[in-house]
Structure 1
Amino acid sequence: MISPVGLHRVLEPAGVLPQAAWRLDASPAIAPNEVRIRVERLNLDAASFRQLREKHGGDGARMRAEVLEIIGARGKMQNPVTGSGGMLIGTVEETGRRSPLGLRVGDRVATLVSLTLTPLAVADGLARWDGHSEQIPCDGHAILFARSIAAVLPADLHPELSLAALDVCGAPALTARVVERYVADRAREGDARPISVAVIGGAGKSGSLSLVAARRAGAARTVGVVPVAGERDALEAAGVADAVVVADARDPVALSTAVTTALRVPADVTVVCVDVPGCEHGAVLATADGGTVVFFSMATSFAAAALGAEGLAADVTMLVGNGYAPGHAEFALKLLRAEPGVRGLFEARLAAD
């Protein structure tokens, strides 16, 4: 039976969804409701890329070999340590007659679903990837299901720039939604207190977009938290946050102190956009009672977050950013076009890679 969520592509174990499967069928022949993409570039998520880079000491050949091994063994790109994958861009090569995605042969698209559930095969050995960038030039194919999501790449932005923004487009969309609700609730209650937002990992892709999304949604004061002085200088120059502080997000007291000092109060909303583990307790401690912590990091331990909040007697709502919100792709690209500071951060990151 051909499943709209790809159950027919699961090879083992039987009965689970593709994301939870150990191995997928990545054969190129498509079902009537599927689409085949000729892959041009993979984008590893930040947590997976960091783990691979640290494991292999930045040795590009060894990183390439492990990524190829993962894809070859599993029929998808899912880092077995982080559990995360990334996304890709490519050109629509064939569409099934019953595909509901509205894609046409020749469309250049970015997939907005994770590589952890996308059947994928590589044909070029990733020979053009040196291991220094999250973005991997690639020749291969990938399969989209009826319930997959993809966005046609805009003509006015370089594909690599679009890929970088679309990779994290769920973060600014959910950040805006959360902040808008706080603004509306306080206005309805006659509460004049301004909304304050902290973004941990503020100089990164998801972090910088979340900062400008929070500001546009009505946050009165924002602070970006970064780990090193170089990122502080870049974020300050971009002008996307009201304050920028340097703090180790793995040090709960230092992080909380930095945020509350910069905002003069704990944050109403704290958005976690880092690619290292161990930041859960600091995020909770930096957030006001009744506030919200949004976790967008695939390095997050949700057990640590929940048990840490309990141990701190912290009355906070904790949200898992699932990477999808209606209109999230268009929203991220709109911010990228409208905010020169954010675009500059993205372009500098791509140039450095």
Structure 2
Amino acid sequence: MHKLVCAAFLLLLSSSTIGDSGVPCYESIFSFGDSFADTGNNPIVFQWYSIFDPVTRPPYGNTFFGRPTGRNGDGRLIIDFIAEKLGLPYVPPTLAHNGSFRQGANFAVGAATAVDAGFFHERGIPGAPSKFPLNTSLGVQLEWFESMKPSLCRTARECEEFFGKSLFFVGELGVNDYHLFFQKKMVEEVMSLVPHVVATISMAIERLIMEHGARNLVVPGVIPSGCSPPILAKFADASQAAYDSRTGCLKEYNELGLRHNSLLQAALAKLRAKHRDVMIVYADFFGPIMEMVESPRKFGFEEDVLRVCCGGPGRYRVNATVPCGDAAATTCRRPSARLYWDGVHLTEAANRHVADRWLAQMDAFGRAGCKKQSLS
């Protein structure tokens, strides 16, 4: 009787992510993106300046891992929570992992853009002087994936079967593209870049489907940049009319994110119509963050929700000369009560809330990898 109760409990616990066969809905996760998804590639890609890279120093990673892992946060990222829920190991960074990638690989790199580096150079946008011109764009990450592919499968049929059972995350991408242009252009000018960024992401998805047999894809939208502490600090001299009186966010910058997400959803709808046997899930990044900004107490956060947990002096505690990880930086007493960790990046607590939303959206699509299995 005791064994039956235990078995029933385990089945109930795993019913949303594991089929009746008792195996995970997906056998691997492949991830592309920027610092929101990077599980440790950044310090390797930019190792020539890594001794100055704050993510390699405490208090990064202190909440969960107990040490810095190369993640931009105090603990787990959204992709970590999703891997846990799907019964898979954390997705290893391709450049900092010496083991097998049969259960997935993470190609995401902090500061990565959707469009290629050359696009910015042609327009006189130099980017962050310490990182750009190294090119870690989505196209480059796809090339890394294609270089790895022969080690994962050999024949077309084998690859189709293997990647058909994999989950692909394509993003978050776009925020860095827009933030680079903010250095020289006004928001209305940056708006003209949105169709190009979205088209780049859409073409990458098409490539994964047509050339590599991807059948399960999750594509995140962008965050509300107008609520991002680095943007708020950078444009601190904005007029009072530029702010949303309810949230303290900059309205114009959030409108840019809404525009990106609207065009991205339209592009994904076209891809779904073209590839009816493929599951393409839009993952809302904007909405969950706005909910946490608008109702911080509902999520267990402090009222001063736009101030980062770890940083230096300043209104939002975002300080270019005293970043989180610097000896002079300070860390809030309870990271779990804060939305933002070190600037644009979220705390582990906030990442958990976003992951829950994305999992619900995957469930709404039938969770592609489980659609042929009977879910309890």
TM-score normalized with structure 1 length: 0.30
More strand per residue: 1 or 2?
1
Structure number having the greater helix percentage? 2
